Amino acid sequence: MADFDAKSIVDRSRAAFNAGKCKSLATRLEHLKNLYRMIDEHEKDFCDAMKRDLNKPYTECMGYEITLAKNEIIGYLENLSQWVKPERVKKPLFMLGQDAYIRREPLGVVLIIGAWNYPFQLTIHPLIGAIAAGNTVIIKPSELAEETAKILADLLPKYLDSDCVQVVNGAVKETTALLEQKFDHILYTGNSVVGKIVMAAAAKHLTPVTLELGGKSPVFVDKNCDISTAARRITWGKFVNSGQTCIAPDYILCEEEVKDQLVQAIKDTLKEFYGEDPQKSNDYGRIINERHFKRLEDLLQGVNVAAGGKTVIDDKYIEPTIVTDVKGDEAVMQHEIFGPILPIMIVKDADDAIRYINSRNPPLMLHVFTKSKSMMKKVQDEVHSAMFIGNDSLLVGGVDTLPFGGVGTSGMGAYHGKHTFETFSHRRACVVAKLGMEAANQIRYPPYSEKKYSWAQWLMAKKPKREGILGFWPFTLLAMIFAAFFARYLGFV
């Protein structure tokens, strides 16, 4: 993009926001309806693009990208008119008769930097909430998923007001130029290295950020577990999208006595899911590019491959692979794998697994497979993680009433469903007082006196809750009414 001018793009969005072009509820709903129509009318085009980018199967494209986005929009269309209403809040006694509430206001100009592994969902999902909150938005799709980025840039201006939503395609140069501009919020999905760059750039303008960064998400498989079911659910979560999913199982911790059974069950499941040769399966994806292919291929050097291991660079194909006898200091255990390689490490027991996980950065997703409710609770209580799932994988990402986001090095902030609307809204505190009842306000005005101070303390100071009849709130309310209407007779005027 030789003629790329980041400042002009941001200025255009700023001017549209300042003019209130995208702020009205009617405009927000219209944009959401148009976005739904775009998705509905071009489902096949988007799936074809993702097929070219990642060899993504049609079922995965529809199930984990298109349908989730359409459901998200429907949720907003059904609820947005309620979410934008002022939220009344509890008030202290001295505020009796006054109005106190929260208004959710748009932040301004929002930058969304999408990811390549789910190039549609991870761009459109935050866009939905940003539009619904009344912001103007600039989208920067990942250049690695080139075909999906192209179709987004082509279609979005045909369905949405280009002053309110702009698409910028490009690579590092364009992203860097955008990050030099002032935004009112930035949402970035990707790795922690770039996340630090985004955060540093945002800090220069005191711009808040939401960072979805990932990390190594462990799976603890308890010996008191249905191994066959656990294997199927782990295999599904790990090898969907060829392992290129931020909340996918990254590695397994289990006791020695269940390892062989678990490995065999995963092998059997892989054969069931993808056949004798997964490279020929229509249901198995590919690695996004050669750089990531070589990174993953390097992780297979010098490890004990219990299943899989085949790599074909011309096809960007890496066979679903199980690695056993893994040690904590090996390369495959140092960084997020983000590919179809599943290490299995032996631990002595649950306490050993907990110690190992807690010795590392907090994971984005913690998985536990067990029949024991007490074991489930033990691991949930004792391990710090951003999100948690018991006896399954991936499902958290499909529950739009749950906040989706990281903690520590796995990210900050959260979105999905109403949480996206909240992320892109400013919670504006509002108080509207009445001009009457001025006599009751005399206790707060100079000149001060002991009598005024005593009444002010009685009205304002909170006291520990009392049990029984003395804690019954109507007595306090009646006392407040007495103070408000009879203050003139108490020597304050």
Active-site annotation holder among 72, 146, 212, 336 = 212
Q: Which amino acid is at 130?
A: A
Give percent helix, percent strand, percent coil of the chain, each to the nearest 5. 50, 15, 35
DSSP result, 88-119? E----GGGTTSEEEEEEEE-SEEEEE--SSST
The residues that bridge with 252 in the sheet, in sequence order, are 219, 344
How many whole angstroms from its chain centre is CA 264?
34
What is the SS3 assignment for 254?
strand
Whether 145 and 466 have beta carbons less than 8 Å apart is answered as no
**Residues 6 or more apart in contact with residue 480 via CB below 8 angstroms:** 93, 96, 459
Compute φ and ψ for 211, nearest 5 degrees.
-120, 120
Residues contacting 482, CB < 8 A, separation 6+: none
- Told to judge if 246 belongs to the known catalytic residues of this protein, a careful annotator would answer yes
DSSP state letters, 314-375 = GGTEE--EEEES--TTSGGGTS---SSEEEEEE-SSHHHHHHHHHTSPPPSEEEEE-S-HHH
Query: Of the listed 246, 255, 319, 336, which one is catalytic?
Result: 246
Tallying the residues shown for the chain, one arrives at: 493
Q: Say which residue the tokens 């984990």 belong to.
A: 64
For CA atoms 334, 340, 346, 352, the dihedral sign is: positive
CA distances from 50 to 121, 253, 478 (A): 11, 33, 66
DSSP per-residue letters across 32-48: HHHHHHHHHHTHHHHHH
- By the 10 Å C-beta count (0-12 exposed, 13-18 middle, 19+ buried), 43 is classed as middle
Catalytic residues: 212, 246
